[in-house]
Structure 1
Amino acid sequence: MVHIGLRRVRPWQGRDILFDVVPAAVLLVVGELEVPFGLTSRVGAGSDATVVVPIVLCCCALLLRRRLPLVTLGIILAVTIVPSLLFPMRLVYWGEFLPLLIATYSTGRHLPRRLAVVGLALALGGFASLAAIFAELREPGDLLFDAALIIALWALGLFSASWAAHWERSLRAELDRALAEERGVQAERARIARELHDVIAHTITVIVVQAGAARLASDADPAVARKALREIEALGRGSLAELRLLLAVLRRDDVTDDGTEPQPTLATLHELCDRMRGLGLPVRLDDQRGDVALPLGLQLTAYRIVQESLTNVVKHAGSAPTRVRLDRQGPDADFVVEIINDAPTQRGEPVLPGAHRGLEGLAERVRALGGRFSCGERPDGGFLVRAELPMPEGLA
């Protein structure tokens, strides 16, 4: 991987065509038409042919504007300034000056603040050089307007970056709150499970002892036997009341109308993905598992893997496009769950020590089912989580 300006250079992805290729192509076509048809006023004494190649180079440089903003700006300035120092040249608006404005905006939008200031200084310095070369640009009104336009586009880029960062922080905070609430519920249920174990273990132990005493005393001393049976009855009633209390706590959250608690399954993955889309994460569900019925335990494990992975995507990769894939390629094959996210377009929350404890818990759950779990960065800068869950005998 190459790192320039604290940003990772990643391969092109599908949506880059919309944000990079299409604008560059439109400017290239309009810029080349600008020359023969005179769509804007003439600047410079060169012939029309002198701007054909610079227009192509300026528009092609825009393909890098989100990945390498400073490099893009440098290429555009070099293409417009250097030939003008050596030969009589023309300067056109659509094919050269507008790409300069877009590149200036990109430095404010896609670079850290300090490097963005360098980009503004480079843009203003380059424009000053062009004004020194082309007399038409030295008109006071035009000079001030063009300089103000450069600064305004740069400031718009800064504002856009600040707004996007604020939106990402709000999204992460909302997910953190939801995750904290869910973990609190899980912790409470774990505590109740321990209490259930203690209650049941104590009750059964005492019942076994009292039942043995009643059996031994049933012939020799019926009164002792009746007393033991009464104690068993009282203990059973008390334990039943305590169990009902604990179960009521378990049922107070996420209950259906008939009083039964819904368990997440693969059928509810669409709802999970819809909630994530509503929070701004572009996630696509690719379900290729076929019609084989899966045990609820396996479905719950798959659901938790997807849920934890999507939460991590939002926390650490922002709104990176993500694909959830469910697959089973043969009757004897394992059930595969994959969550694949693209490289983040903006840096999300840094990964701190212990940040992968959720994934570690998922790995333990998968291994408990006899499956395989793996996760890690992809070569293009994204992240992959993959779990292979074996099908129980009789369903394979």
Structure 2
Amino acid sequence: MHGAWRRAGWRGTVFDVAPAAGLWVAGVLDIVFGLSESVGAAPVASSFVPMTVICALLVLRRRFALLVQIGVAVVIAVPVWVVPLALGYWGEFIPWLVALYSCARHEERMVRQIAGAVVSAVTLTVISLRFPEMADPGDLLYDGVLLAAAFTLGLFARSWARYRDGALRQELERAQADERAATQERARIARELHDVISHTITVIVMQAGGARLAAASDPSVAVEALARIEGLGRESLNELRTLLEVLREDGQAPEGTAPQPTLSDVDALCAQMRELGLPVQLHTEGVGAALAPSIQLAGYRIVQEGLTNVLKHAGNVDTGVRLASSGGVMTIEVSCAPGAGGSSLGGTDHGLLGLRERVAALGGTLMTGPRADGGYLLRAELPLEQRVS
């Protein structure tokens, strides 16, 4: 309870002590110089002890607001019936207003706030009975209005503080949400960069190796391989430029850049792999253009990563790609026959980890592992609830 008060440190202590000390000094000046007219026939100096006790209680007004209000009321209303005491304006009444304000401002439950108001009303009734000069209707109305104003001001201050704290909390939550979104976007771009670069470098290495071997015996084959390397390099540079431009402050890709690949580009990807000597068969079932862009891009990257890993680890082995959409689920499979790399395709390299993150972000599942015949299978299932109408 009141954790903010406990965390305030020395600044909170000063904020609690300084007003109480200021009111005590004002009460002493009132006693010494008669700044206001006291209530009761006793000497005004008789109010010094009650005033000191009340001001000491006010130090705790934020932490124990209702108890302080009750304590102030008891110190004001009870002793005057036992011993001759005077009540001062600055020593008792103003601290009383401060205590009532604090009760309305710092108590969290409405029932406790109302209890503080009731205590003040009873206190005003008691001292008006003890001091006939306070029973005048005009004086009672004046004192009652001041007490009501203090209570209302406390409620308003509490409402304003809650509104301010809520606005600050919302602003903080928005900033945290923006930071999370930025982190996720950076992770997404990192995955895209890995997929593009990994695929491009793998293909370039394979093509360059073939060009080197064919350079002496059949230069035309080497020239074709170099042309494919050039074309692939241009395509990859365009993709990388698109991704890097997203990192600009406005987050918008420039005009003229190629769109992100989709499932319709898988056929061209398979054709590219066939040119490298990888026998790929593509099968599609119920896959249309009405899929969400996130599903389209993820599906393409899954196939790209799977084929790149086959080429890198297993070599030119029979490979199948299957894209199927049914029952609200998009299924992507890349499978290959046993190759030189065997089950090493199941390694936990950055590419597969990136695929798992990508699939998980879309609420899907990814399974990778060796087949019974010694081959390898990569299978992803993505929900299609974000289908574009």
Give the letter for the 2:140 counterpart: L
Q: Distance in 2 between matches of 1:62 and 1:205?
A: 76
Taking a change above 3 Å as real, the CA distance of residues 251 and 38 of structure 1, as seen in their structure-2 partners, is closer
Task: Determine which of 74, 78, 84 is the counterpart of 2:80.
Answer: 84
Task: Determine which of 237, 243, 246 is the counterpart of 1:240.
Answer: 237
Taking a change above 3 Å as real, the CA distance of residues 174 and 7 of structure 1, as seen in their structure-2 partners, is closer
Where 1:90 maps in the other structure, the secondary structure is: coil
Where 2:67 maps in the other structure, the secondary structure is: helix
Q: Distance in 2 between matches of 1:102 and 1:53?
A: 18
- 2:248 is matched with 251
Mapped pair 1:207 → 2:187? no
Taking a change above 3 Å as real, the CA distance of residues 250 and 37 of structure 1, as seen in their structure-2 partners, is closer
Counterparts of 1:111-190 in structure 2, within 5 Å, are 111-112=107-108, 113-190=110-187
Q: Distance in 2 between matches of 1:83 and 1:7?
A: 35
For residues 200-228 of structure 1, give each alpha carbon's deviation from its aligned partner in whole angstroms, at most 9, with x where no partner exists: 00011111111111122122222212111
Contact conserved, 2:30 with 2:90, CA < 8 A, in 1?
Answer: yes
Q: Distance in 1 between matches of 2:139 and 2:160?
A: 31
1:30 deviation in Å? 2.0
1:186 deviation in Å? 2.5
Taking a change above 3 Å as real, the CA distance of residues 172 and 55 of structure 1, as seen in their structure-2 partners, is same
1:155 deviation in Å? 0.5
Contact conserved, 2:44 with 2:88, CA < 8 A, in 1?
Answer: no
Give the letter for the 2:141 counterpart: L
- 2:213 is matched with 216
Count of equivalent residues:
251
- 2:223 is matched with 226
Give the letter for the 1:101 counterpart: L
1:121 deviation in Å? 1.1
1:184 deviation in Å? 2.2
Where 1:89 maps in the other structure, the secondary structure is: coil
Counterparts of 1:179-328 in structure 2, within 5 Å, are 179-253=176-250
1:253 deviation in Å? 4.2
User: Could you tell me the TM-score, scaled by structure 2's length?
Assistant: 0.61
Contact conserved, 2:245 with 2:251, CA < 8 A, in 1?
Answer: no
For residues 10-40 of structure 1, give each alpha carbon's deviation from its aligned partner in whole angstroms, at most 9, with x where no partner exists: 3773323553222222221221232243222
Give the letter for the 1:161 counterpart: R
Overall identity of the aligned pairs, in %: 48
- 1:32 is matched with 28
Mapped pair 1:41 → 2:17? no
Taking a change above 3 Å as real, the CA distance of residues 29 and 236 of structure 1, as seen in their structure-2 partners, is same
Where 1:237 maps in the other structure, the secondary structure is: helix
Contact conserved, 2:103 with 2:113, CA < 8 A, in 1?
Answer: yes
Contact conserved, 1:105 with 1:154, CA < 8 A, in 2?
Answer: yes
Taking a change above 3 Å as real, the CA distance of residues 11 and 243 of structure 1, as seen in their structure-2 partners, is closer
Taking a change above 3 Å as real, the CA distance of residues 247 and 173 of structure 1, as seen in their structure-2 partners, is same
Give the letter for the 1:164 counterpart: A
- 1:93 is matched with 89
Task: Determine which of 51, 55, 64 is the counterpart of 1:55.
Answer: 51
Where 1:167 maps in the other structure, the secondary structure is: helix
Where 1:10 maps in the other structure, the secondary structure is: helix
For residues 247-272 of structure 1, give each alpha carbon's deviation from its aligned partner in whole angstroms, at most 9, with x where no partner exists: 111124499xxxxxxxxxxxxxxxxx
Q: Distance in 1 between matches of 2:240 and 2:8?
A: 58
- 1:103 is matched with 99
Give the letter for the 2:43 counterpart: S
Q: Distance in 2 between matches of 1:12 and 1:79?
A: 29
Contact conserved, 1:43 with 1:90, CA < 8 A, in 2?
Answer: yes
Give the letter for the 1:47 counterpart: P
Q: Distance in 1 between matches of 2:12 and 2:249?
A: 47
Give the letter for the 2:73 counterpart: L
- 1:19 is matched with 15
Q: Distance in 2 between matches of 1:27 and 1:58?
A: 10
Q: Distance in 1 between matches of 2:25 and 2:72?
A: 17
Contact conserved, 2:20 with 2:56, CA < 8 A, in 1?
Answer: yes
Contact conserved, 2:38 with 2:44, CA < 8 A, in 1?
Answer: no
Between Structure 1 and Structure 2, whose CA radius of gyration is higher?
2
Taking a change above 3 Å as real, the CA distance of residues 217 and 9 of structure 1, as seen in their structure-2 partners, is closer
Taking a change above 3 Å as real, the CA distance of residues 88 and 11 of structure 1, as seen in their structure-2 partners, is farther
For residues 151-188 of structure 1, give each alpha carbon's deviation from its aligned partner in whole angstroms, at most 9, with x where no partner exists: 11000000011011111112222232233233323322
Give the letter for the 1:86 counterpart: V
Contact conserved, 2:214 with 2:221, CA < 8 A, in 1?
Answer: yes
- 1:323 is matched with none
Q: Distance in 1 between matches of 2:74 and 2:127?
A: 11
Give the letter for the 2:121 counterpart: L
Mapped pair 1:75 → 2:71? yes
Give the letter for the 1:53 counterpart: V
Contact conserved, 1:7 with 1:67, CA < 8 A, in 2?
Answer: no
